[in-house]
């Protein structure tokens, strides 16, 4: 999806001054230093830590409040052969955290099972159905992953049934927390953990890391499972900084040689190449497939894939998931096209106060993806609601600088349920309350953004001559990866380029061409930018482009390609 007329923002004077200092301190090219400075790196020491991150830089898991309680109880359950039930969420973060716990503790001899609530029957979060399943099976310990921080009723329900309840979650808590045996969430007010932004799978990893430390086991065995941590973390679009970046970086390296049979099957069926896995592949190729069953049928299928140790069985599940993903994409396209049409009928001044749309034609499993596409195209806070039998299930997605969770919390008196974080929220609402909700949400947006919706923009790391793009640049960028939220892939500006030949349309409206500065030539591709075909011609005026660089390998040959984000 391409932004509509984004503003190009060059680095400020302060970043340039820091970059010049880094350039001298590290004896590096200025454009390398500009990339570091744009990430808030101000010194040689900070640059060293960022570029040369290590698993040794992970924080002590026992800094989590309640970690000691959780480990004591988990060890007791394992020692006594008690039945443990892990209750996860149905998104990639949740299923990866569930599979991670299942794989690790079952290998340690624990009696463990899992439960993923049904998106359509139970909705988000821990359900009483899951607690009932635990009680019927004789389970005495429930551990949540990527959910539970608002499970007040369910925690008490489990307690009344004699089941201990441990919460591992990363979502925003309310002013009080559930009455559980232990709560692991770095965002609670009394938290002493130094990093707030772990994904749900990251919090689960910290529980297991603490277990390994307490039992004096070989940590390398746990690190074998970092591919699942990377998968869930990158897919959940949490900030890829500090501990998240370390876990994802080393998890991606593990994924390239994964010993996880199910993950290997998924990579093969999706057409990915293990050696080329990066955060972009996870977000755009692997994560949508892992999400598909939870959106259309049951996320348990995804868990079964990720805990499978049988290659033929894993291939069978991966094939089924591939088919569900194809169906999911068609549904998502239908929702987006209808939503886009509805937006065009809304006066421009009203769109500026956020988008709230509802339809009985929309499948609730894909509205979140469609909402993200609307935000990417229009840069408006967006809420899409799927209506069925008078009840609406909604997904909200936000823009930078607007806390959509806080905004929706102001409307909680007319909502059935809601939960999420500042950029993404799920909600349930009575259909009769939607018009009032629209009105109130619009007023909140107008109040919080008095100057209006900020114009969509692309932040430029540095202006550069394309002759600077070589294998040294590729190696430098690799050290900065993985890229994602708060650590975006570096964007370059190059002026006075000429098209070597007339551009051509490939695939679904993508523009393919070659550019030169007179001395070197690069292949370029501009996704969803077919409208620029007449502008990019061999006899046309020079162009300016914003782009990032990537390395392609074909038939053993490496070449650098420019992936264009904007053209002037």
* Mean pLDDT along residues 247-260: 93
Among candidate residues 107, 93, 213, the one with its CA nearest the CA of residue 144: 93
Within 10 Å of residue 124's Cβ, how many Cβ atoms?
23
Task: Quote the pTM value.
Answer: 0.86
SS3 116: coil
Q: What is the DSSP string of 150-172?
A: T-HHHHHHHHHTT-EEEEE--SP
pLDDT at 13 > cutoff 60: yes
Query: The tokens 């919390």 sit on which residue?
Result: 409
- The whole-angstrom separation of Cα 243 and Cα 226 is 13
Q: Which pLDDT score is estimated for 274?
A: 63
Which residues, in sequence order, are CB contacts of 260 under 8 Å at separation 6+? 103, 225, 227, 228, 306
pLDDT at 431 > cutoff 70: yes
- The whole-angstrom separation of Cα 282 and Cα 237 is 11
Q: Architecture of 7-52+460-567 per CATH?
A: Beta Barrel (2.40)
pLDDT at 123 > cutoff 60: yes
- The whole-angstrom separation of Cα 540 and Cα 542 is 7
Among candidate residues 145, 39, 149, the one with its CA nearest the CA of residue 485: 39
Q: Which of 172-176, 408-412, 508-512 has the highest mean pLDDT?
A: 408-412
pLDDT at 1 > cutoff 60: no
Pairing label, strands 424-430, 391-397: antiparallel
- In CATH terms, the fold of domain 347-448 is Diaminopimelate Epimerase; Chain A, domain 1 (3.10.310)
Mean of the per-residue pLDDT values of the chain: 91
Contact 523, 536 (CB under 8 A): no
- The whole-angstrom separation of Cα 219 and Cα 61 is 13
Query: The tokens 């979502």 sit on which residue?
Result: 171
In the chain, list all ranges with CATH 3.90.1640.30: 57-323
Q: Which pLDDT score is estimated for 567?
A: 92
31-88 residue pLDDT tens:
999 999 999 888 888 888 888 889 999 999 999 999 999 999 999 999 999 999 999 9
How would you class 508 by CB atoms within 10 Å of its CB: exposed for 0-12, middle for 13-18, buried for 19 or more? exposed
Contact 351, 374 (CB under 8 A): no
Residue % of the chain over a pLDDT of 70: 98
What's the pLDDT band for 548 if we cut at 50, 70, 90?
Answer: very high
Q: What are phi and psi of 261, to 5 degrees?
A: -60, -45
pLDDT at 429 > cutoff 70: yes
Within 10 Å of residue 10's Cβ, how many Cβ atoms?
12
Within 10 Å of residue 530's Cβ, how many Cβ atoms?
17
Among candidate residues 464, 551, 526, the one with its CA nearest the CA of residue 38: 464
132-171 residue pLDDT tens:
999 999 999 999 999 999 899 999 999 999 999 999 999 8
Which residues, in sequence order, are CB contacts of 106 under 8 Å at separation 6+? 112
Q: How many residues does the chain have?
A: 568
Q: Strand pairing partners for 359? A: 386
* Mean pLDDT along residues 535-542: 85
Could you tell me the strand order of the sheet in which 424-430 lies?
Answer: 355-359, 382-388, 391-397, 424-430, 417-421
- The whole-angstrom separation of Cα 226 and Cα 272 is 19
Contact 560, 550 (CB under 8 A): yes
273-330 residue pLDDT tens:
766 788 888 888 898 899 888 888 888 999 999 999 999 999 999 999 999 999 988 9
In the chain, list all ranges with CATH 2.40.50.460: 7-52+460-567
- The whole-angstrom separation of Cα 163 and Cα 447 is 45
Among candidate residues 154, 238, 164, the one with its CA nearest the CA of residue 201: 238
Which token pair is 510?
């993508």
In the chain, list all ranges with CATH 3.10.310.30: 347-448
Contact 517, 497 (CB under 8 A): yes
pLDDT at 508 > cutoff 90: no
Least confident of 24-28, 203-207, 224-228, 485-489: 24-28
Q: Which pLDDT score is estimated for 451?
A: 81
SS3 565: strand
Q: Classify domain 57-323 by CATH number.
A: 3.90.1640.30
Among candidate residues 196, 236, 219, 220, the one with its CA nearest the CA of residue 97: 236
Within 10 Å of residue 75's Cβ, how many Cβ atoms?
14
């Amino acid at each position: 999806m391409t932004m509509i007329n984004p503003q190009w923002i060059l680095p400020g004077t302060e970043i340039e001054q820091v970059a010049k200092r880094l350039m001298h301190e590290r004896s590096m090219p200025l454009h390398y230093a500009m990339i570091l400075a744009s990430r808030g790196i101000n010194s040689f020491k900070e640059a060293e830590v960022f570029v040369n991150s290590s698993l040794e830089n992970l924080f002590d898991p026992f800094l989590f409040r309640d970690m000691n309680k959780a480990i004591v109880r988990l060890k007791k359950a394992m020692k006594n052969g008690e039945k443990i039930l892990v209750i996860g969420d149905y998104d990639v973060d949740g299923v990866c955290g569930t599979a991670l716990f299942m794989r690790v503790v079952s290998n340690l001899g624990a009696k463990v099972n899992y439960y993923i609530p049904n998106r359509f029957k139970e909705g988000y979060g821990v359900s009483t159905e899951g607690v009932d399943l635990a009680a019927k099976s004789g389970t005495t310990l429930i551990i949540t992953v990527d959910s539970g921080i608002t499970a007040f009723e369910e925690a008490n329900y489990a307690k009344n049934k004699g089941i201990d309840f441990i919460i591992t979650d990363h979502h925003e808590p309310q002013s009080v927390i559930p009455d559980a045996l232990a709560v692991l969430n770095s965002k609670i007010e009394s938290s002493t953990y130094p990093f707030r932004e772990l994904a749900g799978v990251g919090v689960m990893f910290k529980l297991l890391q603490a277990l390994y430390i307490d039992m004096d086991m070989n940590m390398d065995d746990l690190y074998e499972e970092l591919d699942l941590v990377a998968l869930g973390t990158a897919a959940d679009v949490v900030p890829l900084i500090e501990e998240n970046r370390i876990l994802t970086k080393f998890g991606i390296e593990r994924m390239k040689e994964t010993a996880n049979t199910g993950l290997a099957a998924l990579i093969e069926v999706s057409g990915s190449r293990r050696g080329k896995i990066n955060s972009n592949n996870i977000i755009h190729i692997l994560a949508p497939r892992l999400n598909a069953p939870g959106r259309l049928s049951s996320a348990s299928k995804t868990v079964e894939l990720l805990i499978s140790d049988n290659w033929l069985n894993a291939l069978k599940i991966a094939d089924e998931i591939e088919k569900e993903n194809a169906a999911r994409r068609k549904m998502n396209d239908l929702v987006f096209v209808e939503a886009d049409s509805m937006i065009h009928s809304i006066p421009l001044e009203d769109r500026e106060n956020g988008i709230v749309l509802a339809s009985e034609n929309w499948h609730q499993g894909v509205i979140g993806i469609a909402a993200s596409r609307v935000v990417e195209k229009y840069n408006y806070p967006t809420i899409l609601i799927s209506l069925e039998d008078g009840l609406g299930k909604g997904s909200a997605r936000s823009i930078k600088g607007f806390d959509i969770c806080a905004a929706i919390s102001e409307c909680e008196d007319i909502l059935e349920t809601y939960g999420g974080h500042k950029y993404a929220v799920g909600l349930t609402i009575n259909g009769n309350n939607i018009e009032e909700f629209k009105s109130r949400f619009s007023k909140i947006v107008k109040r919080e953004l008095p100057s209006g919706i900020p114009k969509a923009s692309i932040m430029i790391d540095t202006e550069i001559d394309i002759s600077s793009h070589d294998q040294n640049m590729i190696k430098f960028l690799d050290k900065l990866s993985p890229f994602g939220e708060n650590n975006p892939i570096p964007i370059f500006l190059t002026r006075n380029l000429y098209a070597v030949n007339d551009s051509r349309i490939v695939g679904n409206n993508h523009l393919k061409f070659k550019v030169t500065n007179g001395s070197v030539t690069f292949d370029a591709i501009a996704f969803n930018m077919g409208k620029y075909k007449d502008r990019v011609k061999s006899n046309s005026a020079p162009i300016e482009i914003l782009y990032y660089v990537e390395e392609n390998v074909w038939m053993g040959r490496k070449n650098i390609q420019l992936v264009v984000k904007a053209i002037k």
